[in-house]
Amino acid sequence: MDQTYRQRTGKIICYVILVCLAALIQNTSGLSIEIGGARCFLLLPVCMMIGIGEDERTAALIALFGGMLWDLSSAVHLGFNAIFMCIMCFFGAAFITYILRNTFITNFIFSTLFILLYCFLYWLMFIIIKNVKGAELSLFTFYIPSAIYTIAISPIVYAAIKSIKKKLYTPQNKLFAKQ
């Protein structure tokens, strides 16, 4: 279904607001619940679920924006989050567009792989290579529990984003129609 310029712009603005809210919740101490020291990496499933079902460019740019917000708040990753999220959301959107269907199962599988790969690569590149004390143990005490926590939150994120996307895509929606 083709959308007008105004509808596409409104959709992108809604996506940017969602990513900003996810970044705020994730990066502000006290806004998200930590379970046993494990943190929810909320930007990962939010960017992936927004990107899936969109074209590759939109998915990559939304993920790049989310990754840059995450990098700006941490100031130690040298763009790792932005680059990784951009690449993963691009490939996720391309797979859904050209090979697979956009269902809950495919969204959940992609976000699970995305989260596990992120946690492992981050641990490998920024903890193991820098030879941080207790690095081997941190995989099992922080990164895997954080990945499991984020994966457990993914269905809730999927339901919320799917309802927002459905509202944005309905033809009878006059949210961004010219008055």
The pLDDT of residue 173: 54
Domains of the chain as residue ranges with CATH: 5-167 (1.10.1760.20)
User: pTM, whole model, 2 decimals?
Assistant: 0.88
DSSP for residue 54? B
The pLDDT of residue 30: 83
pLDDT in tens, 33-80: 888 888 999 999 999 999 998 899 999 999 999 999 999 988 777 899
Residues in contact with 34: Cβ distance below 8 Å, sequence separation at least 6, in sequence order: none
Integer Cα distance of 144 and 72 in angstroms: 24
The pLDDT of residue 6: 84
The pLDDT of residue 65: 97
The pLDDT of residue 168: 83
Q: How many CB atoms lie within 10 A of CB 99?
A: 8
Integer Cα distance of 32 and 20 in angstroms: 14
The pLDDT of residue 72: 92
Integer Cα distance of 87 and 109 in angstroms: 17
The pLDDT of residue 170: 67
How confident is the prediction along the chain (179 residues), in pLDDT tens digits per residue?
Answer: 567 888 888 899 999 999 999 999 998 888 888 888 889 999 999 999 999 988 999 999 999 999 999 999 887 778 999 999 999 999 999 999 999 888 999 999 999 999 999 999 999 988 888 888 888 899 999 999 999 999 999 999 999 999 999 888 766 555 555 55
Residue tagged 């499933």 (tokens): 45
